């Protein structure tokens, strides 16, 4: 069984959004990821060079926990395998 620290983690977005929802309200807090999505879409639309692509991708990867995504994918695959 994983330790509590490993489950909670030190960089969990849920904790940040929970704290923000308490201060700003739920609607305003949910507007933040929507605004980020719109900004990324506009920046992606305006890309002209390959360097723009890599800068945008690198900037996005700075905020994404790839290992956690892989862990969730493995858990989903295991659940699908067990269901068969």
Same domain, 2 and 27: yes
**pTM over 0.75, yes/no:** no
Q: How far apart are CA 44 and CA 50, in angstroms?
A: 11
Q: Check residue 9 and give its pLDDT.
A: 54
**Residue at 41 is within a domain:** no
> Which residue is listed with tokens 């068969």?
84
**Residue at 26 is within a domain:** yes
**Residue at 59 is within a domain:** yes
Q: Check residue 8 and give its pLDDT.
A: 54
Q: Check residue 70 and give its pLDDT.
A: 78
How many structural domains comprise the chain? 2
**Residue at 82 is within a domain:** yes
Q: Tell me which residue range forms the domain holding 84.
A: 47-84
* Alpha carbon of residue 4 to chain centroid: 21
Instruction: Provide the strand spans (E) within 1-84.
Output: none
Nearest to 57 by CA among 71, 67, 47: 47
Q: How does pLDDT run along the chain (84 residues), one tens digit per residue?
A: 455 555 555 556 777 788 888 899 989 988 988 998 999 999 999 999 999 999 998 888 877 766 777 777 788 888 888 766
> Which residue is listed with tokens 């923000």?
20
* DSSP state at residue 46: T
């Amino acid at each position: 069984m994983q330790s509590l620290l490993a489950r909670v983690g030190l960089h969990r977005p849920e904790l940040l959004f929970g704290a923000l929802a308490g201060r700003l309200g739920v609607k305003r807090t949910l507007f933040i990821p929507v605004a980020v999505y719109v900004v990324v879409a506009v920046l992606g639309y305006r890309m002209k060079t390959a360097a723009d692509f890599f800068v945008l991708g690198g900037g996005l990867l700075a905020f994404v926990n790839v290992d956690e995504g892989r862990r969730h994918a493995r858990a989903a695959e295991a659940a699908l395998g067990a269901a068969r």
